[in-house]
């Protein structure tokens, strides 16, 4: 892969070390000095344990698909100089609300609750269509969220899956049992295999990744339960930054650079 920084990054981080690091923010300076000495510094808030999208490598350096996209965008925007602050996922939007960061990047999907609080970019950069997934030994087929009533379903606290399930439960008398989960990927998959949860809601990318990584047999059921893309988030009113980033991102899409990054980092083109 063409390097956008000066180092070659290694995808490796022990879970224990990652969790320890996630307890506090990790400031990472911009990888290159801006050509414009008057460039405005933009602090980007992102995560640190979500491989391969945003994570800290074995050298405690921030890497991932979202980060590489932002580095490519930064190269196109001479008026800005991006710096990165990695933190626990649940603290990113809190930091955006507090004005500690100006841009939030962590595979954020559209939902009404977030849209009421934050400004969404208008150009999406990753397909994030969600499907109901279960272990292959469980001979069922879930066609919709209605089929999950009374079932135990994994969801990450504060994530869009949790939002979808919580919204469903508010609108229906019969409820889905939400099992909030922040465990490692291995524990997550084992939980589906041993019945800790009956199902999860995942993208095709994550489903394929878990099957390959853990030799699992996770199966996708039925039609999508949510069709979306991921977007960068900003403070309300920060239109100038949003429009600049949207414009640079659209250029990466139009010239094929975004699809190339997706293939190189994610293994296929997940931008459509």
pLDDT tens column, 47-66: 999 989 999 999 999 999 99
Residue 203: both structure tokens together: 């993208």
Domain-embedded: residue 243:
yes
Domain-embedded: residue 5:
no
Domain-embedded: residue 146:
yes
What string of DSSP letters covers 8-60? -------HHHHHHHHTS-EEE--SS--S-TTPEEEEEEE-SEETTTEEE-TTS
Domain-embedded: residue 150:
yes
- As a whole-number percent, the residues of the chain with pLDDT over 90 amount to 79
Residue 76: which domain range?
A: 15-127+229-266
More confident residue, 263 or 32: 263
Same domain, 122 and 140: no
The pLDDT, as a whole number, for residue 141 is 87
The mean pLDDT value of the chain amounts to: 89
Count of domains observed in the chain:
2
Q: Check whether 17 has a pLDDT greater than 50.
A: no
Give the Cα separation of 54 and 107 in Å (integer).
Answer: 9
Q: Check whether 119 has a pLDDT greater than 90.
A: yes
**CATH number of residue 46's parent domain:** 3.40.190.10
Domain-embedded: residue 8:
no
Same domain, 80 and 138: no
Q: Which residues contact 196 (CB under 8 A, 6 or more apart)?
A: 152, 179, 190
Same domain, 108 and 151: no
Q: Check whether 24 has a pLDDT greater than 90.
A: no
Confidence of residue 25 (pLDDT cuts 50, 70, 90): low
| CA proximity to 122, closest of 226, 47, 227, 230 | 230
Same domain, 36 and 86: yes
Contact call for residues 236 and 114 (beta carbons, < 8 A): no
Domain-embedded: residue 6:
no
Q: Check whether 15 has a pLDDT greater than 60.
A: no
Domain-embedded: residue 74:
yes
Give the Cα separation of 111 and 103 in Å (integer).
Answer: 17
Same domain, 99 and 165: no
Confidence of residue 4 (pLDDT cuts 50, 70, 90): very low
Same domain, 233 and 113: yes
Same domain, 19 and 119: yes
More confident residue, 29 or 82: 82
Sign of CA dihedral 224, 230, 236, 239: negative
Confidence of residue 31 (pLDDT cuts 50, 70, 90): very low
Tens digits of residue pLDDT in 139-182:
898 999 999 999 999 999 988 999 999 999 999 999 999 999 98
Same domain, 22 and 89: yes
Same domain, 25 and 122: yes
Contact call for residues 199 and 144 (beta carbons, < 8 A): no
| Strand bridging mode 80-86 / 40-46 | parallel
7 φ, ψ to 5°?
Answer: -120, 160
Same domain, 21 and 114: yes
Same domain, 116 and 38: yes
Same domain, 121 and 178: no
Domain-embedded: residue 217:
yes
Sign of CA dihedral 258, 13, 26, 95: positive
Contact call for residues 162 and 180 (beta carbons, < 8 A): yes
């Amino acid at each position: 892969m063409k390097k956008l920084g000066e180092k070659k990054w290694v995808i490796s981080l022990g879970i224990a070390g990652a969790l320890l690091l996630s307890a506090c923010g990790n400031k990472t300076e911009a990888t290159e000095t801006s050509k414009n000495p008057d460039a405005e510094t933009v602090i980007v808030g992102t995560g640190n344990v979500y491989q391969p999208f945003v994570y800290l490598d074995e050298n405690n350096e921030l890497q991932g698909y979202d980060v590489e996209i932002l580095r490519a965008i930064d190269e196109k925007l001479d008026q800005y100089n991006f710096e990165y602050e990695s933190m626990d996922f649940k603290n990113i939007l809190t930091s955006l609300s507090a004005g500690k960061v100006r841009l939030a990047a962590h595979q954020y999907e559209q939902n009404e609750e977030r849209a009421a609080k934050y400004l969404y970019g208008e150009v999406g950069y990753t397909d994030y269509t969600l499907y109901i997934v279960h272990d292959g030994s469980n001979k069922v087929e879930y066609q919709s969220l209605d089929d999950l009533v009374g079932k135990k379903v994994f969801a990450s606290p504060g994530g869009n899956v949790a939002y979808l399930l919580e919204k469903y439960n508010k609108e229906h008398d019969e409820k889905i049992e939400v099992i909030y989960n922040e465990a490692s990927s291995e524990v997550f998959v084992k939980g589906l295999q041993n019945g800790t949860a009956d199902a999860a809601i995942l993208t095709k990318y994550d489903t394929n990744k878990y099957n390959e990584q853990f030799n699992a047999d996770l199966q996708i059921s039925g039609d999508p339960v949510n069709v979306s893309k991921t977007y960068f988030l900003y403070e309300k009113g920060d239109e100038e930054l949003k429009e600049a980033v949207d414009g640079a991102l659209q250029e990466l899409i139009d010239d094929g650079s975004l699809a190339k990054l997706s293939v190189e980092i994610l293994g296929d083109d997940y931008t459509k």
